Amino acid sequence: MQPNNAIRPRERDAILQALAAGVVPRAGLRHVQVGRAAEIGALVRDIDRIADGGAAIRFVIGEYGAGKTFFLNLIRLIALERKLVTIHADLAPDRRIHATAGQARGLYAEAVRNMATRTKPDGGALGSVVERFVTEAIKEAQERSEAVERVIDRKLAPLQDEVGGFDYAVVLKAYWRGSEDGNEGIKVAALRWLRGEYSTRTEARQALGVRTIIDDDGVYDALKLLAAFVRLTGYGGLFVVFDELVNLYKLQSSQARNQNFEQILRILNDVLQGNTRGLGFALGGTPEFLLDTRRGLYSYQALQSRLAENGFAKGGLVDLSGPVIRLQNLTPEDMLILLGNIRSVFASREPTRYLVPDEALGAFMNHCNQRIGEAYFRTPRTTIRAFVQLLAVLEQNPGADWRNLLGDVEVGVDAPTDADEPDGNAAPSASPGDELVAFRL
């Protein structure tokens, strides 16, 4: 048996490839996580509240490259460990919270395709969740000497109190019938419906005999139904992670922005008033998305009043009880530990294989501070990418000296993106926040 801190070669390579590209690893986050213990603790309390039948919503706000996506993925993995079901997706021009041309349904479909459980952390877990429900119903029917259909009807009865709950129950029963009859076509159709992949009611009616589909105007109701269903299946609840909400800030139409903000307000009100159970949201965005009074959440008065930060939390004081979590910059100590963790991953956690000594970590930090200033704390992605590339060069060139390499490296940040423009109209040529790191040997 491997020790808890062991790292497999495949996991090591996946972590390093992701960090070198400036993106968040899909696995192995525990090997590199540092700092932000208070923020993580606040989200863990939210997760426990969800598992206890409550609800939660958090807006995770940070600059590009500050670690929002890493933080959200870490929280999502914690939710899986606490026996919640998670779904996640990034907003994009074709994926929004509210729309009229399929963009909201597209967001829902992408999120449910990414559904994960503790036993299926990489996504695609919808089928196994539904299968678990059917298996438990059959087992209960045998124990009680009841008809399976009666047990399923009794289990699904609470769903029918929700908007769209009747057809939701019909589709789940259709899946059970397909399972009983060996009809894979019906099972596939039921999963397609649950994922929101039907674009017309006619197609859904022909396949499953239902009159409705999960459409743009019913996405939030579908999320509440999904949360109720996973609780019936034995999970603690549903944790929803939506990242890149800055795409709402970029919408050119004020009407489209306000309609999305109205949906966010509806979710926020439901959570704060206790109108939903077993459902949590973590929404990632930039400071502009939150604070801009022309295009951000603060442009919508009802949201501004609910999301305004505590005026007493000044001078280094924090308040993590509100809906907004502002990711604080990593401290120099955190950054030193982070670089040490990356060095350890490179060496497969074997100290005898470290490519650089401890003194190199401090020297590298000083180098980055001189070259890119305070951004090396504010947006650690730049520093991480540079350090991974430094270690890669040392690994592939055993005769190279890290001292000489530091004198030849240039670390810079890309030109401002469209999010930095006052009107947001610049061409989206590169992903926001991508940093340029170049070694010249």
Task: Give 278-319 pLDDT, tens digit per residue.
Answer: 999 999 999 999 999 999 999 999 999 999 988 787 777 778
Mean pLDDT score of the chain: 86
DSSP code at position 116: B
Q: Which two tokens stand for residue 257?
A: 């922005």
Sign of the dihedral through C-alpha 30, 32, 38, 39 = negative
pLDDT tens-place string over residues 125-166: 999 999 999 999 999 999 999 999 999 999 999 998 888 999
Task: Report pTM.
Answer: 0.82
Residue 375 has pLDDT above 80, yes or no: no
Residue 196 has pLDDT above 60, yes or no: yes
Residue 379's pLDDT is what?
63
CA distance 165 to 187: 19
Q: Which two tokens stand for residue 214?
A: 């999960």
pLDDT tens-place string over residues 110-120: 999 999 999 99
Residue 249 has pLDDT above 80, yes or no: yes
CATH number for region 9-125+217-326: 3.40.50.300
Which of 52-61, 192-201, 333-342, 419-428 bottoms out in mean pLDDT, i.e. has the lowest?
419-428
Average pLDDT over residues 63-92: 90
User: Cβ of 182: how many Cβ atoms within 10 Å?
Assistant: 8
Residue 292's pLDDT is what?
95
Average pLDDT over residues 190-210: 95
The residue that leads in pLDDT, 4 or 153, is 153
3-state DSSP percent of the chain in helix, strand and coil, to 5: 55, 10, 35
Residue 415's pLDDT is what?
38
The residue that leads in pLDDT, 24 or 97, is 97
What are the residue boundaries of the structural domains of the chain, listed by start? 9-125+217-326, 127-209, 332-439
Residue 312's pLDDT is what?
84
Residue 135's pLDDT is what?
94
Distances (CA, A) of 147 to 140, 153, 230: 10, 10, 22
Which of 1-15, 42-56, 402-416 bottoms out in mean pLDDT, i.e. has the lowest?
402-416
Confidence of residue 377 (pLDDT cuts 50, 70, 90): low
- Which positions ≥6 away from 395 have C-beta within 8 Å? 346, 355
3-state secondary structure of 185: helix
Residue 440's pLDDT is what?
31
Residue 41's pLDDT is what?
92
Residue 63's pLDDT is what?
82
Residue 219 has pLDDT above 80, yes or no: yes
Residue 28 has pLDDT above 80, yes or no: no
**Looking at 261-396, which runs of residues are DSSP E strands?**
279-285, 324-326
Residue 354's pLDDT is what?
92
pLDDT tens-place string over residues 380-439: 777 888 889 899 999 999 889 998 888 755 444 443 344 333 344 333 333 333 333 333
DSSP code at position 183: -
CA distance 87 to 84: 10
pLDDT tens-place string over residues 227-246: 999 999 999 999 999 999 99
To which residue do tokens 């399976």 refer? 148
Confidence of residue 1 (pLDDT cuts 50, 70, 90): very low
Confidence of residue 5 (pLDDT cuts 50, 70, 90): low
The residue that leads in pLDDT, 418 or 377, is 377
CA distance 387 to 360: 10
- Which positions ≥6 away from 114 have C-beta within 8 Å? 87, 88, 89, 123, 124
